[in-house]
Structure 1
Amino acid sequence: MNYKNGKDVLPPRLLEELQRYIQGELLYIPKPQSERAAWGEKSGSRVMIERRNEEIFRHYEDGRTVPELEREYHLSGESIRKIIVKLRSAAAFALNAPDTVDKADAYEPVRAGKR
Structure 2
Amino acid sequence: MCYIAAKEVLPIEIIELIQTYIEGEYIYIPKKEANKKPWGSTTTTRKEINLRDSSIYSEYMNGVSRNSLAEKYFLSKKSIDRIILKEKSK
Q: TM-score, structure 1 length as denominator?
A: 0.59
Task: Name the residue aligned to 2:67.
Answer: 67
Superposed displacement of residue 40, structure 1:
4.1
Superposed displacement of residue 43, structure 1:
4.8
RCO comparison, higher one (Cα < 8 Å, 6+): 2
Superposed displacement of residue 77, structure 1:
2.9
The alignment of Structure 1 onto Structure 2 pairs a total of residues equal to 90
Superposed displacement of residue 84, structure 1:
1.3
Superposed displacement of residue 41, structure 1:
4.1
Work out whether 1:55 is the aligned partner of 2:64: no
For 2:15 and 2:24, locate their aligned partners in 1 and report how far apart those are by CA, in whole Å.
12
Deviation string 1:57-77 (CA, Å, 9 cap, x unpaired) is 111222323233233223333
For 2:67 and 2:16, locate their aligned partners in 1 and report how far apart those are by CA, in whole Å.
63
Unaligned runs of 5+ in 2: none
Superposed displacement of residue 36, structure 1:
3.0
Amino acid across the alignment from 1:8? E
For 1:14 and 1:88, locate their aligned partners in 2 and report how far apart those are by CA, in whole Å.
53
For 1:77 and 1:6, locate their aligned partners in 2 and report how far apart those are by CA, in whole Å.
47
Superposed displacement of residue 56, structure 1:
0.7
Task: Name the residue aligned to 2:6.
Answer: 6
Superposed displacement of residue 14, structure 1:
1.6
Instruction: State which structure, 1 or 2, has the greater radius of gyration over its C-alpha atoms.
Output: 1
Larger helix fraction of residues: 2
Amino acid across the alignment from 1:70? A
For 1:63 and 1:52, locate their aligned partners in 2 and report how far apart those are by CA, in whole Å.
17
For 1:10 and 1:76, locate their aligned partners in 2 and report how far apart those are by CA, in whole Å.
47
**Identical aligned pairs, as a percentage?**
38
For 1:2 and 1:74, locate their aligned partners in 2 and report how far apart those are by CA, in whole Å.
32
Q: TM-score, structure 2 length as denominator?
A: 0.70
